[in-house]
Amino acid sequence: MANVPSDVSDTHGTQLDGIHDAQPYDWDDYEAYFRDKPAYHSQEEALMAILSELSFESVFEVGPGFGRITALILNQWPAVAQDYTLLDISEAMIEATSKNLPTVDFLYFIGSISVPLDAGIWASPQLPIKADLVLAVEVLMHIHPNEIMQAVDNLLGAISDNGCLVTVDWTVPRPNEPFGQNWRHDYPNLFLAAGARTIQATLVGLQTIYVVEV
């Protein structure tokens, strides 16, 4: 009950069951949980192997979270720090990435990838970005089906000449947990509808890493 005001729990009753045990977030614990998860180690290994096959001098990373993948990329390819742009719907996530990588001077935007290119954040003179590597790891899973086409259009539109989009999302259902992976979109058809020329898919556990060229 600690962090749920009594009037809220009284009013909403069972809707808040389970929330009553919640503790205030501890960022260090949160990050450590994801850093130490064995499934993430195989995901990261597979992703880094795929990125090693690519050639890129600029990165546009959407949804960096606390910079889990950002840190791996900058560790292996420090030169891309010169041209590394972040976009996240959450200011707290941009702050977390910057805090974890304090020496990098990111260009960043706070806004949604699923908003049309002439609206909101995209109306900034510095956007739309063009980057050799457009990256979205476990981000499209959060986009509502009504908005996913716009998000995929925006991502493909951000790819520079000879660049590519790399995404990682759940594609295989997890038994007994139908909603735990948020949305599992039909990624190949979405990429094709947005103008993809080639799509390379690599299954890693229950997730697929896509490399998309236009």
Ligand X SMILES: C[S@@+](CC[C@H](N)C(=O)[O-])C[C@H]1O[C@@H](n2cnc3c(N)ncnc32)[C@H](O)[C@@H]1O
Rounded distance between C-alpha atoms, residue 195 and residue 27, angstroms: 39
Could you list the residues that contact ligand X (CB under 6 A)?
62-65, 68-69, 87-90, 93, 112-114, 137-139, 142-143
DSSP symbol at 126: T
Instruction: Identify which of residues 143 and 164 has a Cβ nearer to ligand X in the complex.
Output: 143
Rank residues 85 and 114 by Cβ distance to ligand X and give the closer one.
114
Closest approach of ligand X to the CB of residue 70, in Å: 8
- In the bound state with ligand X, the residue whose beta carbon lies nearer, of 139 and 152, is 139
Tell me, what DSSP letter sits at residue 118?
A: T
| 127, 62 contact by CB (below 8 A) | no
For 138: left if phi > 0, alpha if psi spans -120 to 50, otherwise beta; the answer is left
CB of 140 to ligand X, least distance (A): 9
Asked whether the CA dihedral 21, 25, 29, 33 is positive or negative, the reply is: positive
- In the complex, minimum distance from the CB of residue 187 to ligand X, in angstroms, rounded to a whole number: 16
Residue 191 beta carbon to ligand X: minimum distance, rounded to whole angstroms:
18
Q: Judge contact between 205 and 42, C-beta under 8 A.
A: yes
- Distance between CA atoms of residues 74 and 79, nearest Å: 8
User: With 0-12 CB in 10 A as exposed, 13-18 as middle and 19+ as buried, what is 91?
Assistant: exposed
CB of 47 to ligand X, least distance (A): 9
By beta-carbon proximity to ligand X, the closer residue of 20 and 173 is 173
Q: Which is nearer to ligand X, 65 or 163 (CB)?
A: 65
